[in-house]
């Protein structure tokens, strides 16, 4: 090695193949090292700081969360996030600022905090920070310059700047951080941000920190920290509006506990409220949604202490706690789709929420825990709480966004929760199945109506139960009332059910029984009663999906979405299927009331069982 260094001719082979955009300062240092044998630093600052810009935050919100994390950990009770959009439309610039009222940093701490790896909490697993990089990498992920201002008394502000351009062009081998600068006021650019409304949201919605600069020195807290990233070149959205909307949606959920405990968090001068995807917190936003009767999920079960080894096969264990909720499906199912989708975010795959030291690090579908993504899963929620000692088990990375749980950890949790999760999914399935039948309030289905009208044209009539005397009529009504009670839909009154049953010759019922054939026929008091089994694949794979298509299309009619043609097609198919079954029911009813019916009864019974089994076998084959 030393031979090579001493022989300039040989070192020619090791010419660096750097790209043209590579930092000049870094090139100079590297060449000096190669040619002159200079000492090699552990980190080549000029290049490394540029590479760190690509650490990979999912989006601007998760980068800003690093700063909010720091403010929270420092003990701030008010945090203001700003997306300051300025300049002409189409060519505007956005600055990002985060201001807190925490204790601030003394100058030497500020200096340490600016260095990569510099931290006051390094490897401390009980709080949010532990890696010593968040503030720097998150800022550089958004823009090339980070300015930090921190004060522990008014008008004594220390500031430091990290400027990627400047660092990259430095020609020294070892880049050192300068001393913090002492200032008696915040820079005017920052003062403007705090005193003028942002481009978004509407001015009336903004609660400014101060109305003018004189006011500002009073309003700004005695101690605090300001993170300022001017002229960001790498934001996930272009406008202040989308940036603020995304940050609001995410942070209201990510920091729900802190918000619930009173943290005042503003985004572009608008205070944000907690959003709880488990719908348990009664201080969360959903409680105020109009028309919401139930505001709280049902806690199905909780496992406060699930012991998980910190690494696979390790003897050292940490404790996770898990809670399983079922949303109030009975009272929410019929809410307008807009409320369900936008206000309650029900279809946003927010099934499993991972909370690390009280701060959400991930939310999503985790098939190992929640089961596969499916309409039956929409109504369940899992919340997994853990502390930093389980970071390895849950796969928490340096940027604290997302988890990548190890299989062994998921296996342990699943063992505890799986039966209850299945129960919730089953309950949802049953509810949804039952709800399909009650789609049309106290009305006959089209199929029931058509079947009845077509009776006049059928070759063989059904036996008539018409009463001839008043007394007979009373007795019949009495019997029909009793029958109505058993056929009552959940949204019908006794009288509604009686009226419906009295006027219809065809009735469809639903029943959920995994051990039962897919249909059943009964003929009582002159009524053809068809029962469809919602547990059979005939229902889950054909009837229910078809009725969903029909219902969806019906709904979209009102919105002016789908053209009427498509809607008619969906419900026509469903009606056709229902008539297939009603005609079967009619035929059986008719044959059973004719001569020789005793033989038929056994035959129909066998046919029903055999047909159901063979249909089940076939349908199950088509399932992936
Ligand atoms: N708003 C703030 N108020 C007070 N101190 C802060 C603030 N922001 C950062 N610091 C200090 O700066 C240090 C470095 O922050 P940084 O986010 O880079 O690392 P960390 O929070 O320690 O770890 P992590 O990389 O896990 O976030 C922190 O340890 C903290 O001492
Ligand atoms: Mg941090």
- Average pLDDT value for residue range 214-218: 87
DSSP assignment string, 218-269? HHS-SSEEEEEE-S-S--SSSSHHHHHHHHHHHHHHHTHHHHHTT-EEEETT
Q: Give distance in angstroms: CA of 129 to centre of ligand 2.
A: 4
Mutate to test the pocket of ligand 1, among 113, 125, 140, 148 (most ligand atoms within 8 A of CB): 113
Report pLDDT digits (tens) over 148-207: 999 999 999 999 999 999 999 888 888 889 999 999 999 999 999 999 999 999 999 999
Q: Looking at residues 289-309, what average pLDDT do you find?
A: 94
Query: Ligand 1 centre and the CA of 69: distance in Å?
Result: 8
Q: From the CB of residue 459, how many other CB atoms can be counted at a distance below 10 Å?
A: 5
Cα(569) to centroid(ligand 1), Å: 60
Neighbours of 483 (CB within 10 A): 20
Alpha carbon 390 to its chain's center: 23
Q: How far apart are the CA of 73 and the centre of ligand 2, in A?
A: 8
In tens, the pLDDT along 526-542 reads 899 999 998 899 998 99
Does the CB atom of residue 136 touch ligand 1 within 6 A?
A: yes
pLDDT at residue 555, as a whole number: 44
pLDDT at 1: 44
CA proximity to 262, closest of 40, 271, 270: 271
Helix (H) or strand (E) holding 152: strand 145-153
Q: Kindly identify the ligand whose nearest atom is closest to the C-alpha of 130.
A: 1
Q: What is the mean pLDDT of the chain?
A: 88
Beta bridge partners of 99: 80, 226
> 23 in ligand 1 pocket by Cβ < 6 Å?
no
Summarize the confidence of residues 231-243 as an average pLDDT: 94
Mode of pairing for the β-strands spanning 93-100 and 352-356? unpaired
Is the Cβ atom of 80 under 6 angstroms away from ligand 1? Answer: no
Question: From the alpha carbon of 100, which atom of ligand 1 is closest?
Answer: 1
Residue 551 pLDDT grade (very low, low, confident, very high; cuts 50, 70, 90) = low
Atom of ligand 1 nearest to the CA of 148: 8
Confirm or reject: Cβ of 160 under 6 Å from ligand 1.
Answer: no
The number of the ligand nearest the C-alpha atom of 122 reads: 1
Q: Which residue has the higher pLDDT, 340 or 419?
A: 419
Decide which of 526 and 381 is more confident.
381
Confidence of residue 492 (pLDDT cuts 50, 70, 90): confident
Least confidently predicted of 321-335, 339-353, 365-379, 562-576: 562-576
Is the CB of 129 inside a 6 Å radius of any atom of ligand 1?
yes
Convert the pLDDT of each residue in 17-62 to its tens digit: 888 888 888 888 888 888 888 888 888 888 888 888 887 788 999 9
pLDDT of residue 560: 37
Distance 128 CA to ligand 2 centre (A): 7
Decide: 116 in ligand 1 pocket, CB within 6 A.
Answer: no
Do 351 and 366 form a contact (C-beta atoms < 8 A)? yes
- Measured CA to CA, the distance from residue 462 to residue 575 in angstroms comes to 22
Given this model, what pLDDT does residue 436 score? Answer: 64
**Of 410 and 565, which is predicted with more confidence?**
410
Whether the predicted pLDDT of 557 surpasses 90: no
Q: Is the distance from the beta carbon of residue 143 to the nearest atom of ligand 1 less than 6 Å? A: no
> Is the per-residue pLDDT at 256 higher than 90?
yes
Share of the chain above pLDDT 90, in %: 57
| Sequential DSSP letters for 422-441 | HHHHHHHHHHHHHHHHTTST
- Return d(Cα 53, Cα 569) in angstroms, integer: 54
Both tokens of residue 219? 């309003």
DSSP string, 289-321: -TT-S--S-EEEEEEEEEEEESSTT-S-EEEEE
pLDDT band at residue 403, thresholds of 50, 70 and 90? very high
Distance (Å) from CA 20 to ligand 2 centroid = 33
Nearest bound ligand to the CA of residue 133: 1
Whether residue 489 is predicted with pLDDT greater than 90 in this model: the reply is: no
pLDDT tens digit sequence for 302-312: 999 999 999 99
Do 121 and 130 touch, CB atoms closer than 8 A?
A: yes
Query: 128 C-alpha to center of ligand 1: Å?
Result: 9
Q: Are 190 and 147 in contact (CB under 8 A)?
A: no
Considering every ligand atom, which ligand is closest to the CA of 396? 1
Q: What is the pLDDT of residue 491?
A: 65
Cα torsion angle, 127, 133, 135, 141, sign? negative
Residue 564 confidence (pLDDT) above 50: no
């Amino acid at each position: 090695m030393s031979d090579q260094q001493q022989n300039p001719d040989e070192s020619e082979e090791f010419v660096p193949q750097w790209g043209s955009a590579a930092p000049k300062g870094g090139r100079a240092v590297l060449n000096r090292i190669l040619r002159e044998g200079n000492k090699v630093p552990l980190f080549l600052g000029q290049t490394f700081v540029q590479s760190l810009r690509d650490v990979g935050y999912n989006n601007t919100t998760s980068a800003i969360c690093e700063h909010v994390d720091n403010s929270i950990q420092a003990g701030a009770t008010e945090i203001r996030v700003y997306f300051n959009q300025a300049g002409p439309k189409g060519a505007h610039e956005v600055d990002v600022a985060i201001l807190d009222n925490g204790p601030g940093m003394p100058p030497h701490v500020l200096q340490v905090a600016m260095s990569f790896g510099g931290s006051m909490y390094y490897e401390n697993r009980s709080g949010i920070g532990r890696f010593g990089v968040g503030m720097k990498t998150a800022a550089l992920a958004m823009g090339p310059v980070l300015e930090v201002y921190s004060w522990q008394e008014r008008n004594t502000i220390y500031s430091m700047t990290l400027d990627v351009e400047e660092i990259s062009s430095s020609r020294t081998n070892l880049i050192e951080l300068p001393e913090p600068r002492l200032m008696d006021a915040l820079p005017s650019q920052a003062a403007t941000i705090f005193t003028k409304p942002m481009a978004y949201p509407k001015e009336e919605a903004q609660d400014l920190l101060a109305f003018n600069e004189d006011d500002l020195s009073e309003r700004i807290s005695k101690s605090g920290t300001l993170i300022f990233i001017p002229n960001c070149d790498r934001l996930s959205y272009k406008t202040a509006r989308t940036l603020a909307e995304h940050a609001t949606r995410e942070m209201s959920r990510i920091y729900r506990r802190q918000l619930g405990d009173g943290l005042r968090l503003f985004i572009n001068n608008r205070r944000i409220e907690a959003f709880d995807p488990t719908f348990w917190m009664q201080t969360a936003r959903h409680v105020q949604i109009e028309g919401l009767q139930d505001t709280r999920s049902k806690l199905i079960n909780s496992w406060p202490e699930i012991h998980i080894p910190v690494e696979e096969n390790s003897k050292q264990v940490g404790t996770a706690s898990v809670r399983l909720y079922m949303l109030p499906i009975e009272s929410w199912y019929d809410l307008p789709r807009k409320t369900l989708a936008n206000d309650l975010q029900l279809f946003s795959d927010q099934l499993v929420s991972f909370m690390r030291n009280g701060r959400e690090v991930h939310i999503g579908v985790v098939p190992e825990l929640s089961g596969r993504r499916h309409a039956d899963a929409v109504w369940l929620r899992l919340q997994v709480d853990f502390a930093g000692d389980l970071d390895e088990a849950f796969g928490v990375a340096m940027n604290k966004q997302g988890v990548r749980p190890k299989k062994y950890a998921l296996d342990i949790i699943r063992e505890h929760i799986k039966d209850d999760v299945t129960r919730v999914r089953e309950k949802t399935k049953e509810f949804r199945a039952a709800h399909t039948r009650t789609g049309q309030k106290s009305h006959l289905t089209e199929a029931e109506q058509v079947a009845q009208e077509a009776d006049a044209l059928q070759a063989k009539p059904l036996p008539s139960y018409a009463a001839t005397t008043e007394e007979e009529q009373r007795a019949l009504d009495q019997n029909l009332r009793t029958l109505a009670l058993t056929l009552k839909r959940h949204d019908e009154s006794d009288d509604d059910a009686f009226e419906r049953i009295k006027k219809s010759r065809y009735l469809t019922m639903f029943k959920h029984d995994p051990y039962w054939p897919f249909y059943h026929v009964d003929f009582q008091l002159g009524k053809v009663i068809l029962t469809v089994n919602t547990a059979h694949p005939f229902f889950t794979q054909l009837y229910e999906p078809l009725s969903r298509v029909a219902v969806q299309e019906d709904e979209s009619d009102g919105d002016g979405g789908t053209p009427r043609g498509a809607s008619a097609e969906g419900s026509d198919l469903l009606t056709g299927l229902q008539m297939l079954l009603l005609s079967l029911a009619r035929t059986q009813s008719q044959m059973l009331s004719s001569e020789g019916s005793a033989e038929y009864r056994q035959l129909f019974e066998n046919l029903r069982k055999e047909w159901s089994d063979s249909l089940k076998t076939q349908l199950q084959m088509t399932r992936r």
